[in-house]
Amino acid sequence: MPWLDAETVEQPTHLNADALAAPPGPAAEEPRASARLLEYRRGGFVAFAAHATIALLDNPVLTPVPGAPYYCLGLVAWQGGQLPLLDLHALLRAYPDAGAPPAGHVLVLAYQSAPGRPLEYGAVCAPWLVRMIEVADSQQCDLPRDSDLWPWISLACFEHEGQAVPVLDTGRLFGPPP
């Protein structure tokens, strides 16, 4: 048979066990978690676990509190109660910021002061857009070095659009000191 000469016959291909165990196709997608991304100062971001973010208030009425720490702008009314309102920019810089944007929006956050305790609430200034993003373990990175407080108030840190974004622990942010 002239059409079955040695040049046209394919030689068998040898496959190893690894190639047989993993069928070809798209790689499994990395699991992701939802987070709320908050720009607390121009170009500076923090994130909160999505389940800790409760509400976004527009132009809340603030009640000043004499003797409050420099980073607490006062109390904001929410659901019949008063919540402490923190300015993260002032807190992380360790002094008040006279040029800080007004608290046009406020993000209400939930926390527990201890495991098994009921939820409590606090609020942070949200001078710019708050948005939901998805984060994967592969985005993990080191905390920024621009504040000594990051290790005390952060659970983790991830890279987003080339920038380190600490994930804040609302219990540490609002709860009693350790």
* pLDDT for the residue numbered 144: 95
Write down how long the chain is.
178
Phi, psi of 121 (to 5 degrees): -135, 150
Q: Which CATH architecture has domain 34-172?
A: Beta Barrel (2.40)
Q: Summarize the confidence of residues 33-40 as an average pLDDT.
A: 95
| Average pLDDT of the chain to the nearest whole number | 83
Helix (H) or strand (E) holding 109: strand 105-111
Q: How many CB atoms lie within 10 A of CB 107?
A: 22
Whether 39 shows a pLDDT value over 50: the answer reads yes
CB atoms within 10 A of CB 150: 18
Which residue is associated with the tokens 């409760």?
A: 54
pLDDT of res. 128: 85
**Digit-coded pLDDT (tens) for 54-72:** 999 998 888 999 999 989 9
Mean pLDDT computed over 11-22: 43
pLDDT of 7 over the 70 cut: no
Measure the CA–CA gap between 123 and 55, rounded to whole angstroms.
9
User: At 13, is the pLDDT very low, low, confident or very high (cuts 50, 70, 90)?
Assistant: very low
Structural domain boundaries in the chain? 34-172
The two counts, helices (H) then strands (E), for the chain are: 4, 11
CB-based contacts of 140: which residues, under 8 Å, 6+ apart? Answer: 156, 157, 158, 159
> Hey, which bits of 2-88 come out as E strands?
32-41, 44-49, 53-58, 62-63, 72-78, 81-86
